[in-house]
Amino acid sequence: MTKQDTKKINDALEMLNQAAQGKKEDFSKLLTDKFGDLKKAFHDMESDVSDEASEGLEKLKSLRDSAVGHTKDTAASVDKKVHDAPWISLGLTLVTAVALGVLLGKKN
């Protein structure tokens, strides 16, 4: 809630107190006017929050699409390299597996 909204609420409460001492008709009119201002303030806050949530959702969707695109590009690149040089890929996989086996199988 902004300072302006807080000020509107405080002003409305002060005017309600003053009107409570006056005529009933004035009080009813004042009550209707000030609650209309409060309703508008809350409605404005709701639309601001809704707009920000929509923007955040759009950013998340864009980030997801970007990540999916990068993943597909990387997978296509690896696939092409493996198809271009399958024996090198197989050799690197074998060396990595043997190294991990030796390190993990080693006893203190």
Locus of tokens 């998340």: 60
Phi-psi region of 107 (alpha: psi -120 to 50; beta: other; left: phi over 0): beta
Tens digit of each residue's pLDDT (9 = 90 or more) over 48-85: 778 888 888 999 999 999 999 999 999 999 999 889 98
Q: How far is the C-alpha of 18 from the C-alpha of 27, rounded, in Å?
A: 9
Residues of the domain holding 69? 3-105
Counting the structural domains of the chain, the total is 1
Tens digit of each residue's pLDDT (9 = 90 or more) over 8-57: 777 877 777 776 666 666 666 766 776 777 777 777 777 777 888 888 89
